[in-house]
Structure 1
Amino acid sequence: MLLLGALRRPLAASAARLARERARARPQVYASLATGPRQDNGIFYEIRTYDVKPSKMKEFVEVINQHIHLRTAHSELVGFWTVELGAMNKAIHIWKYDNFAHRTAVRAAIANDKDWQGKLSLILTCVEKQHNEVAYLVPWCQLGKPPKEGGVYEWVTFQMKPGGPALWGEAFRAAINTHINTGYTKLIGVFHTEYGLLNRVHVIWWNESPDNRAAGRHKAHEDARVVAAVRESVRFLESQENMLLVPLHCSPLK
Structure 2
Amino acid sequence: MSSSTVRSFSFSKNSELEQKGQSSAPNSGTQSSDGAQNGAGPKDGSSKPLGKVSGIVNSILHGSGSLPKVMSQESWGVSLARGKYVHEIQKHHIRPERFDDYVALVSEAFPRMVKESNNRLRLTGSWLTEIGELDTAIHIWEFDGYPGHAQEMDRLRRDPVYQKFLKDLRPMLKSRDNQICLEFAFWKSRPPVALGGVYEMRTYLLKPGNLLEWETNWRRGLECRRQFCEPVGAWFSQLGKLNYVHHMWNYPDLETRKKTREQAWKVDGWAETVYNTVRLIDRMEANILLPMEFSSLK
* TM-score of Structure 1 vs Structure 2, range by shorter chain: 0.7 to 0.9
Q: Is the CA contact (8 Å cut-off) linking 1:155 and 1:244 kept in structure 2?
A: yes
**C-alpha offsets along residues 122-150 of structure 1, whole Å, 9 cap, x if unaligned?**
22221111101011001111112587432
Offset, 1:221: 4.9
Given candidates 70, 91, 95, the residue that maps to 2:112 is: 70
Q: Is the CA contact (8 Å cut-off) linking 2:90 and 2:138 kept in structure 1?
A: yes
Offset, 1:241: 0.5
In structure 2, distance between residues paired with 1:233 and 1:146: 30
Name 2:29's counterpart in structure 1: 11
Q: Which structure carries more relative contact order (alpha carbon 8 Å, separation 6+)?
A: 1
Name 2:51's counterpart in structure 1: 22
Name 2:97's counterpart in structure 1: 55
**Closer, same or farther: CA 225–50 of 1 in aligned 2, 3 Å:** same
Name 1:44's counterpart in structure 2: 86
Which amino acid in structure 2 is aligned with residue 190 of structure 1? A
Is 1:199 aligned to 2:249, yes or no?
no
Given candidates 149, 162, 165, the residue that maps to 1:119 is: 165
In structure 1, distance between residues paired with 2:271 and 2:33: 46
Tell me how large the CA RMSD over aligned residues is.
2.9
Which amino acid in structure 2 is aligned with residue 173 of structure 1? R
Count of equivalent residues:
244
SS at match of 1:125: helix
Unaligned segments of structure 2, at least 5 residues: 1-27, 39-47, 63-69
In structure 2, distance between residues paired with 1:146 and 1:101: 23
In structure 2, distance between residues paired with 1:143 and 1:44: 11
Is 1:32 aligned to 2:73, yes or no?
yes
Q: TM (normalized to structure 2)?
A: 0.72
Given candidates 235, 238, 244, the residue that maps to 2:279 is: 235
**C-alpha offsets along residues 181-231 of structure 1, whole Å, 9 cap, x if unaligned?**
3x1x32011101111232211000011122322332344456564333212
Name 2:204's counterpart in structure 1: 158
In structure 1, distance between residues paired with 2:127 and 2:215: 28
Unaligned segments of structure 1, at least 5 residues: 1-9
Offset, 1:251: 0.6
Offset, 1:106: 1.1
Q: Is the CA contact (8 Å cut-off) linking 1:35 and 1:193 kept in structure 2?
A: no
Q: Which has the higher strand share?
A: 1
**Closer, same or farther: CA 147–15 of 1 in aligned 2, 3 Å:** closer
